[in-house]
A = this chain, B = another copy of it.
């Protein structure tokens, strides 16, 4: 058996603790699988005194995480600190520059600096592995970097944020409203005290930008992701959607179109019976369409100690086995520059909900506004049993239409005195039907 793979772990939060536990519990098996033992020689975290329920054995403690990046006795730095800047970034940059392999679970870092870091890694001939950064325990990075390498990818569609999916599922099963369910999710530890990264769609967008780069052979382009969160979804929307045969999911979608890539994160109505509609609770899923493989759907837990640590270990075993590949499938010199697809995207049906004054003629004005924007209506639902202000919720489902038409329709609607507030517009997606 060859020399041990010596690792330094920076960050001992949920994931770091999970990594330490698995390396202890599965020590012999992992050594047999990897052909060499994987040894933790140093760890670093902010608070040495904190009780974590783990035994770091003979590993040394470093107060300064950056020391892991320069230590002579470390082959791999495992970065589990998080954040696109600060210590995490400095640690990864220094480690790579010093010829150390890096394993990270840091989606923000890869989404913002992935290509620059990949160049550093390539220069030194070391690995930059980030399986845990996207969709936790689902081996989607491995699937794209290795399993599907023979395919031209046509699209990637994911449910990439477990917090949002948990909240939407809870809203659906309990009929409660967003704010209410969010509070519970925070109490249960499923949502952060500041939930904006999750419910605002940024976390999913980080992950999508990484997947899109891998799928389409272009540099990561987080800045071009169109992002919309789930904050405006009400229990009523979920009820209406159900009535129409849909679930509401926060989807992250990347597609190749004329000369560019379209990346968007937004709530969508997804047809019941489709693979993505069925993904409930904290589960994540990714559907990939490749020219050879067709549709491939992977579903699993997107967060938590076990799933995320499992992904980190997979990256470590790869390195121990001697696998060093370009971080974005091909060398960065082969990646095309980012190119944002023309606005608008493909035609889509839409769900449109707003409150309207309930008087004779108001519906005629509203439907005329839609018709003037060439938006044709498949279904109208008006509920008389809600609201007590003379304003009643009106819901439209449109036929397939251009996004530009929908935008024009919205502008028309906003001018009508009978329409109260800003209408909610949600795309209807097919949920990657088989």
Contacts and interface: CB of A to CB of B under 8 A. Distances in A.
Interface of A: 18, 22, 26, 29-30, 32-35, 131, 137-139, 142-143, 146-152, 217, 273, 275, 278, 280-281, 283, 290-301, 304, 306-307, 309-311, 313-314, 317-318, 321-326, 329-331, 334, 434
Given A142-B139, A149-B313, A29 B322 contact: no
Contacts of A296: 137-138, 298-301
A101 B168 CA distance: 49
Given A22-B150, A323-B323, A310 B292 contact: yes
Given A293-B310, A321-B324, A322-B324, 13 more contacts: A29-B217, A32-B330, A32-B331, A149-B317, A150-B310, A150-B314, A275-B278, A294-B306, A297-B298, A298-B298, A318-B323, A321-B325, A322-B323
Contacts of A34: 149
Given A142-B142, A275-B299, A149 B294 contact: no
Nearest to A306: B292
A340 B265 CA distance: 48
B293 A137 contact: yes
B150 A26 contact: yes
Given A292-B306, A307-B293, A146 B280 contact: no
Contact of A148 (B280, B314, B331): B314
Nearest to A282: B434
Given A33-B330, A149-B314, A317-B150, A294 B300 contact: yes
Contacts of A330: 29, 32-33
Contacts of A143: 139, 142
| From A18, A131, A143, residue with most partner B Cβ within 10 Å | A143
